[in-house]
Amino acid sequence: MSDLTLKEAQERVDKWIQTIGVRYFSELTNLAQLMEEVGELSRIISRTYGEQSFKSSDEKYNLSDEMADVLFVLICLANQTGVDLNEALIRNIEKKTQRDKDRHKNNKKLASDETEES
């Protein structure tokens, strides 16, 4: 398997939709799909890292596959709404860097020694 850039991923998903998926679902349907996929991801996370136990019906779920499902639908929404995810992510990281450059360093809750001793 080869690596994909965000741009290539957007192009590949678009090609898949046009050839196999027939057409994009509406933006509202894709938003609902995204929420459904995030719910499935949450289920796996809560059972793997949280206090909930697995049920036999959970066996069909796979963490990496659920993350990929979330990403796929998010890419569909980006394609439908004209969002360049590469540019959006770069801008978002820059925004967070400016906004949070000292915030997390000064957050006592994030200091590893203090949280372990509390």
Determine the Cα–Cα distance for residues 30 and 23; give it in Å rounded to an integer.
12
C-beta neighbour count of 19 within 10 angstroms: 8
Return averaged pLDDT per consecutive 10 residues of the chain, 118 residues in all. 92 98 97 97 94 84 95 98 98 94 87 56
And the tokens for 43? Answer: 């289920």
45 and 99, same domain (yes or no):
no
73 and 109, same domain (yes or no):
no
pLDDT at position 23 is 96
* Structural domain that includes position 2: 1-83
- φ, ψ at 73 (rounded to 5°): -70, -35
Q: What is the gyration radius of the CA atoms in the chain, in angstroms?
A: 19
pLDDT at position 101 is 85
pLDDT at position 115 is 43
pLDDT at position 102 is 86
115 and 76, same domain (yes or no):
no
41 and 20, same domain (yes or no):
yes
Is 73 within 8 Å of 34 (Cβ atoms)? yes
Enter the pTM of the model.
0.84
